[in-house]
């Protein structure tokens, strides 16, 4: 099932809940999942990528990015990626927090650029990673 990792600055809990609900709905539609698969979508909020950690996304993600969304799932066709990207970037652009302005920008009282810089990365999961091994009671050691 899909795993989403959201890298951003601190997001208040209520906003995390709202973003989570929206991303679940977007994931169901864009990745063409059944409604009963809703509970198998995992969303994780992580601190914004800094320094050497950003090498994982380099060179695709410059340091000026406000919000990075990593999507891992099965059968991520170009059509599904495009549909997800369109819906998710629209939603994030209106809801996600911006990086704080730099000290120089604040001192000069320059207006902040209100456009959000959003990066998406898609990774295909192998079935062995997401399908858990279930031990039946008779298989357990006594």
CB 7 within 8 A of CB 46: yes
pTM recorded for the entire structure: 0.68
User: Two tokens at 3?
Assistant: 């795993």
pLDDT tens-place string over residues 5-21? 998 887 889 999 999 99
pLDDT tens-place string over residues 32-52? 999 999 999 999 999 876 554
Strongest mean pLDDT among 46-60, 89-103, 127-141: 89-103
Closest CA to 121 of 92, 84, 96: 84
Domains of the chain: 3-128 (3.30.429.10)
* Strand partners for 71: 4, 122
Closest CA to 73 of 2, 121, 17, 138: 2
User: Two tokens at 13?
Assistant: 């809990």
């Amino acid at each position: 099932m899909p795993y989403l990792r959201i890298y951003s600055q601190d997001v208040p809990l209520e906003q995390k809940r709202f973003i989570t609900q929206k991303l679940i709905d977007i994931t169901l539609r864009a990745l063409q999942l059944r409604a009963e698969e809703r509970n198998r979508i995992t969303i994780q909020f992580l601190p914004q990528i800094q320094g050497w950690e950003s090498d994982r996304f380099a060179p695709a993600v410059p340091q000026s990015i406000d919000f990075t969304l990593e999507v891992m799932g099965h059968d991520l066709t170009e059509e599904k990626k495009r549909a997800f990207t369109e819906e998710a970037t629209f939603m994030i652009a209106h809801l996600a927090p911006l990086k704080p302005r730099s000290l120089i920008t604040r001192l000069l009282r320059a207006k902040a650029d209100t456009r959000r810089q959003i990066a998406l990365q898609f990774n295909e999961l192998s079935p062995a990673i997401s399908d858990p091994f279930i031990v039946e009671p008779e298989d357990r050691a006594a």
